[in-house]
């Protein structure tokens, strides 16, 4: 009998379960931490395989057909048995777990990822509380991070999300790359002159990110430009350039919403190469077997995977 399952998409059963519970593709996708298109495509395959509409729309809600109800009633006991088996194995049920996590983050993560992460966590783990601890984006001075490193080691911080790969390179830590962003120039007015007019690039003062490797590349490419300041928080740069005739250098996703909402703000890719901005999550090797933290890391990674530049 089990051989009949070889050609079946068993993940589709989880999608059907979510659809039956939520009666909405949007809510089911959020519950599964997937895109709406993924859930819609799965529903289309199920309709073909079961030769039934399965759901129809009525008063802005998806209503299951008799065939869908019959099929769901048949598979739900099996899904419950499998779910209970895994819960007994890992001892962690994120639907019911009441726990607080401390996560060290920079302003980059808070401005780009936090809102979407909270929406997902709220939908799938409503009793979990996330406490975000601010860490400067700037990598100087190193003394700023001594307490962060120690907190990660002793468990005061469960996870640290940062862009400095070397800073957390200790063998006591594990890491995972979360997303990749691109550096851009941002300024008030028509920024095309920045990429086309070399004299304009040289004359206008620059507000950099405080990351030494980026500052060096900018200074080498624009030897006559003035580095007015290095800012330790990415979020301040758009506000500064909007009120002054400065050029800011910043990861693109930080100002994605600002670009859409503020017509006076414009951007351009640098006319020289800057290695891409990469964001990582780090955790103590001692927490490797903690199933609840593993769950949180997976949710963070899946959420960050939704962002593209």
Whether 125 is in a domain gets the answer: yes
The whole model's pTM is what? 0.65
Lowest-confidence segment of 50-59, 112-121, 291-300 by average pLDDT: 291-300
Whether 309 is in a domain gets the answer: no
The answer to whether residues 52 and 127 belong to one domain is no
Number of domains, the chain = 3
pLDDT at 202 over 70: no
The domain of 75 spans 2-90
Whether 300 is in a domain gets the answer: yes
Whether 163 is in a domain gets the answer: yes
CATH code where residue 247 lies = 3.40.190.10
Whether 253 is in a domain gets the answer: yes
- pLDDT tens-digit map of 107-140: 899 989 999 999 888 887 888 899 999 887 765 5
Whether 118 is in a domain gets the answer: yes
Whether 248 is in a domain gets the answer: yes
- 178 to each of 1, 82, 163, 282, how far by Cα in Å? 41, 30, 10, 10
């Amino acid at each position: 009998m089990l051989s009949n399952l070889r050609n079946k998409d068993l993940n589709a059963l989880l999608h059907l379960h979510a659809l039956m519970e939520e009666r909405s593709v949007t809510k089911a996708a959020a519950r599964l931490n997937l895109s709406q298109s993924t859930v819609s495509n799965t529903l289309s395959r199920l309709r073909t395989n079961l030769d039934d509409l399965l759901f129809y729309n009525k008063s802005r809600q998806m209503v299951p057909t008799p065939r869908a109800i019959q099929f769901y009633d048949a598979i739900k006991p099996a899904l419950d048995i499998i779910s209970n088996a895994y819960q007994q194995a890992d001892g962690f049920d994120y639907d019911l777990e009441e726990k607080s996590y401390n996560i060290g983050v920079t302003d980059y993560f808070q401005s780009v990822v936090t809102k979407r992460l909270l929406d997902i966590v709220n939908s799938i783990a409503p009793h979990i509380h996330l406490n975000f601890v601010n860490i400067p984006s700037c990598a100087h001075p190193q003394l700023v991070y001594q307490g962060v490193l120690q907190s990660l080691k002793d468990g005061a911080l469960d996870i640290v999300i940062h862009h400095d790969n070397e800073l957390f390179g200790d063998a006591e830590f594990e890491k995972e790359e979360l997303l990749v962003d691109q550096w851009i120039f941002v300024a008030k007015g028509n920024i095309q002159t920045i990429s086309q007019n070399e004299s304009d690039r040289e004359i206008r003062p620059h507000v950099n990110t405080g990351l030494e490797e980026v500052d060096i590349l900018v200074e080498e490419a624009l030897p006559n430009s003035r580095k007015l300041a290095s800012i330790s928080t990415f979020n301040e740069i758009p506000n500064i350039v909007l009120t002054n005739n400065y050029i800011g250098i910043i990861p693109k996703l930080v100002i994605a919403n600002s670009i859409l909402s503020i017509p006076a703000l414009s951007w351009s890719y640098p006319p020289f190469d800057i290695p891409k901005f990469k964001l990582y999550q780090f955790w103590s090797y001692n927490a490797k077997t903690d199933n609840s933290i593993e769950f949180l890391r997976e949710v963070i990674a899946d959420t960050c995977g939704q962002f593209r530049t």
